[in-house]
Structure 1
């Protein structure tokens, strides 16, 4: 973030004729990112791999894109801090026939004041320092927490306590024709609660989070709970090890569509893990080897993402990355389903050029 602007904040019309008593600092930042992506296999093409995906006929596809470019603004006035950020990834407006116009999407918009955060930002379950450095946006999302949503959070020392937006994602009991009935979230009225403890030092950092949920689709009154451990640990030289472990009724909080909250009226249980090791070849050049994996008990999904890359800084603000990887779906046969489980895989190669503003 290179630009800092200080503008006066006037408290009344009369104050326009007097010396300003308060000032607001603005910082503008983000990055421009150009991607070239090639995917080959029988999992339908995705701009970046999530924990979802559908198995199709084997195909090959290349795509150039700049939609992951990101812009943000931060404002501070006294004890009040605000932050807002947009990018263009996942836009439904983009069309290669008509000028590739992509609509912006809101990533963050929150206010911080005396330890309280209110607005949309990363869930308290998310430890962003443990994300792997990858060309594929988000990295092995299938094995990590990756949720942004509206919340109210209080932080005191090493502890964080939050109430977050409730949402039930999944299916109700199947009808006689075995067609899935998606849950109507209109009965979500109890916020999700998260408690988190952080510890950090010269060795890195570790966080332990617990999630408590009350899911009540069709007045079924189900209580869910889960736990998450995430760490970034420094090893040799500038190298680091990043890992996440998750277990419980975490549903949509983990795996980015690898798991649902409720499947056919039954609370889902998820096991998930992510590990990444980053090695510095020189001060400017480094590589990451990463792996993410999620399995579920009720729906019996089994999905993983593995990859390796090399990044080098051409200048202090310009990074070039090359990445190879594989995303695979190996779902098992649920006892209640007459449909064949999804099984497939796709390999990908991606080159990215990223200019930090």
Structure 2
């Protein structure tokens, strides 16, 4: 009976959503050592079967850009790279969290599709939180993770979503969050994806309104960008995002971003700088999730980002159906389209996903 005095193992309530990016830890087993100390192990195994057809080259998931092909091509693939593992350590008022997935570089020292299909572990989150202060790498404060669409394709319409993990120091007081975060200027001349290290951190403020009805956040972003010639430019951006409960278990999710948001929105859909000017971006993402039954649900989503200097116009839409076989095991089927209108290119996709929450 001694081991029962040392710790108890408790299975946590599991989040069964296929969207794993709505939080750092979405499930786990907790080893409770005493009243002030515990260790939680979590993560999931996810396998994606994906068919892509069109003149944008196939990828593991759609982000804000892609390779335009000379003619339409089709591609079929099966991958498990989104699989991830995390641990959370709690010691009184101090929490430490680490998470990895397997989207790391598979070419240099990894594997290939000829033999092993290996890929390296990749750090997603690594942070320390003491009371109201967080330091380390995690989701940017500018982002409202609860507003991301539920999708089989990783992250849904990332082309129009705020989506960054990076080093930061964050202070939280109720609904107010303030942070300084790792700076990086992305983009140079038209079509250039050059990046430059900056000397002034990015400043972010966000306030989130919460209630039984859901939540809405308002974010502001201030940066000093550096051009390819070394000149600096002040950049200001904003965001409004949220998830609103509607009928039954249904919900409506949205994101609207504008100004000089650059690399913070669209996952390479827009750049920070073009020549000596900061680029303006306008992005909108909407999604509606409907529960057909307790264990079956669908989401329909759409996202679009447009830029003023590079004249990019990129969109992603999709519709899906998810079925929970058990609380831990779920399957999803999704069809959709990713478009780069400025290049007269688009690709359709069909994806089947299986996910087992640890």
**Alignment TM-score, normalising by the size of structure 1:** 0.89
1:5 is matched with which residue?
A: 31
1:269 aligns with 2:280: yes
Deviations 1:58-115 (A, max 9, x none): 1000000111101100000000001110001253334111311110000000000020
Distance across 2 between alignment mates of 1:90 and 1:145: 21
1:159 aligns with 2:176: yes
Deviations 1:204-250 (A, max 9, x none): 00000000001133332200000000010011111000000000000
- Equivalent in 55, 62, 66 of residue 68 of structure 2: 55
Q: How does 1:207-246 map to 2 (within 5 A)?
A: 207-217=217-227, 218-246=229-257
Distance across 2 between alignment mates of 1:143 and 1:181: 20
- Following TM superposition, by how much is the alpha carbon of 1:183 offset from its aligned partner in structure 2, in angstroms? 4.2
- Following TM superposition, by how much is the alpha carbon of 1:7 offset from its aligned partner in structure 2, in angstroms? 4.9
- Following TM superposition, by how much is the alpha carbon of 1:3 offset from its aligned partner in structure 2, in angstroms? 2.0
- Equivalent in 96, 100, 122 of residue 86 of structure 1: 100
Deviations 1:222-281 (A, max 9, x none): 000000000100111110000000000000000001000001232100000100000000
- 91-100 or 38-47, which deviates more: 91-100
2:5 is matched with which residue?
A: none
Q: Can you give the 5+ residue segments of structure 1 that lack an aligned partner in the other structure?
A: 9-21, 175-179, 332-341
**CA RMSD in angstroms, aligned pairs only:** 1.5
1:296 is matched with which residue?
A: 307
1:149 aligns with 2:179: no
2:118 is matched with which residue?
A: 101
- In the superposition, relative to structure 1, how do residues 309 and 184 fare at CA in structure 2: closer, same or farther (>3 Å)? closer
- Kept in 1, the 8 Å contact 2:193–2:271? The answer is no
2:147 is matched with which residue?
A: 130
1:185 aligns to what SS in structure 2? strand
- Kept in 1, the 8 Å contact 2:196–2:226? The answer is no
1:69 aligns with 2:83: yes
Distance across 1 between alignment mates of 2:43 and 2:172: 26
Deviations 1:3-25 (A, max 9, x none): 222458xxxxxxxxxxxxx9631
1:38 aligns with 2:64: no
Number of residue-to-residue matches in the alignment: 327
Higher Cα Rg, which structure: 1
1:116 aligns with 2:117: no
